[in-house]
Amino acid sequence: MEKKKKVSDKNGRNQKKTPKDIFTDTLKLKKTERYPVAPHWWGIYKYEVLGLDYKKDAWQEGEKIAVIYSKFYDKFNPDWFHLHIGTPVYFKNSEVLNRDGKNYLVVDPAFRKIKSLDRYFSVGSPENEEIIDFADFILGSRSNKPKVDLSSKSGIDDFIARFVHLTAEDISELGYTRHVRLISEEYGDTVFIAAHIPSAICEIFDPITGYTGFERGLISFHDFPGGMRYLLEKCYEEQLEWAKAYAGAGAHAYAISEAFISPDIAGPDVYRRFVKDIHRDYFAEVKKMGLASICYFTGDVNPILDDLAEINIDALMTEESKKGFVIDVKNIRERIGDRVCIFGNLDSIYLLHDGMPGDVYAETQKQLEGAKNNFITCNGSPITPGTPQANIIKMIEAGKSEVF
């Protein structure tokens, strides 16, 4: 891919700020000429809108994934690349085959050895294994990891060493940062690039692949508080290796999805007792790597908004209102003031998927007016399959129209 350059005048000076400049200044709480526009597009919609089948085309190595992201970007021209965790190198030349109603990943024999070294994606796996979930890249071996023993630190340390630990160098060599590096080389001078991965809590609590699982994880806050606290500390420490790997590949920001720990699930006191100070140290380390820190906190964040303004994040992403709670960007701005940049949370279902372009434009403008400053136009959850392209175009158009 040919590297794109900034537009310059005859004296070599930039004629105007790039999307990257606008995005960076906004995250630094500086006044900008307009608000950045950042659709939430790390999900499967990017395959559909390009006429691809994510059940096959998502299982490709970083070079091909980078092309898919680039084509999506060129189609809609937002202000950022919203990149998922990446894909391992052994997806190269792999096939997805259906046998007796089940889908299997068939890996090229040349890559089977490196697949066996991947603690994140595939541990102790057979050569060809069943795909459990396409959208989240879940293989059978990943869902069959044993559960962690929270009764002792040594048991937790052993679990981390066997099933979690990867250095930044391991992560890069396995291919997980290849898409970031290629996109950075082509667009990194002008477009903001964020790598977005599940948080350590997501890895612990996920009902299918979690180190404790969801119900057992929640119960463990009561039954094994010391063990849960130690597991959280160790897993967030391990996850900094991913941030380091993305920083080395040229990302400008590092985002995590923080699920399973919202006040409507676990209660605000659980967050404050077990996670808040870990978050504070974690995001401080992310910033030391030169990365902007972004937290996508799902669920009802209202009871802990003041806490989230104190954990060293540059920006807060939230879901749209749902499940009986209301998350209003104007209210968030009034609660946390100018301490943290906030992303918008346009409704991805009832507005972007089911609404008309005029409705999308009007609601985007409403959020822009309510947020007032240090704001990034965004939808509250990934763009859903079947969303009309016209609505995405209108959201981006509306977001970019507010010029100061």
**pLDDT, tens digit, 9 for 90 and up, residues 286-323:** 999 999 999 999 999 999 999 999 999 999 999 999 88
Mean pLDDT on 190-206: 97
Judged against a pLDDT cut of 60, whether residue 87 lies above it is answered with: yes
Judged against a pLDDT cut of 70, whether residue 203 lies above it is answered with: yes
**Do 45 and 385 contact (CB within 8 A), yes or no?**
yes
Mean pLDDT on 205-231: 96
Across 92-114, b (16+ Cβ under 10 Å) vs e yields bebebeeeeeeebbebeeebeee
Mean pLDDT on 103-118: 90
Among 18-32, 69-83, 102-116, 164-178, whose mean pLDDT is lowest? 102-116
Give the closest residue to 304 by CA, choosing from 324, 285, 280, 322.
280
Mean pLDDT on 336-357: 96
Strands 128-133 and 138-139: antiparallel
Among 7-11, 14-18, 239-243, 259-263, whose mean pLDDT is lowest? 7-11
**Helix ranges (DSSP H) in 84-152:** 112-115, 140-143
- The whole-number pLDDT of residue 7 equals 42
Give the closest residue to 315 by CA, choosing from 76, 33, 25.
25
144-191: pLDDT as tens digits: 889 999 999 999 999 999 999 999 999 999 999 999 999 999 999 999
Task: Round the average pLDDT of the chain to a whole number and report it.
Answer: 93
Euclidean distance between CA atoms 14 and 8, whole angstroms = 4
Confidence of residue 368 (pLDDT cuts 50, 70, 90): very high
- The whole-number pLDDT of residue 404 equals 54
Task: Go through the domains of the chain in sequence order and give each one's CATH number.
Answer: 19-90+146-401 (3.20.20.210)
Judged against a pLDDT cut of 70, whether residue 52 lies above it is answered with: yes
- The whole-number pLDDT of residue 126 equals 74
Confidence of residue 331 (pLDDT cuts 50, 70, 90): very high
Confidence of residue 278 (pLDDT cuts 50, 70, 90): very high
DSSP helix/strand/coil, 378: coil
Judged against a pLDDT cut of 60, whether residue 5 lies above it is answered with: no
**Do 172 and 195 contact (CB within 8 A), yes or no?**
no
Give the closest residue to 254 by CA, choosing from 239, 241, 243.
243
Q: Give the predicted TM-score (pTM) of the model.
A: 0.94
Instruction: Tell me the residue length of the chain.
Output: 404
Confidence of residue 3 (pLDDT cuts 50, 70, 90): very low
Mean pLDDT on 109-118: 89
Judged against a pLDDT cut of 70, whether residue 12 lies above it is answered with: no
Judged against a pLDDT cut of 90, whether residue 112 lies above it is answered with: no
- The whole-number pLDDT of residue 9 equals 45
- The whole-number pLDDT of residue 403 equals 61
Judged against a pLDDT cut of 50, whether residue 8 lies above it is answered with: no
DSSP one-letter string for 150-207: TT-HHHHHHHHHHHT---HHHHHHTTTTHHHHHHHHHHTTTSEEEEEEE-HHHHHH-T
Judged against a pLDDT cut of 90, whether residue 143 lies above it is answered with: no
Judged against a pLDDT cut of 60, whether residue 392 lies above it is answered with: yes
Residues 6+ apart with CB under 8 A from 90: 61, 107, 108, 111, 112, 114, 115, 118, 175
Q: Helix and strand tally (H, E) in the chain?
A: 18, 11
Judged against a pLDDT cut of 90, whether residue 401 lies above it is answered with: no
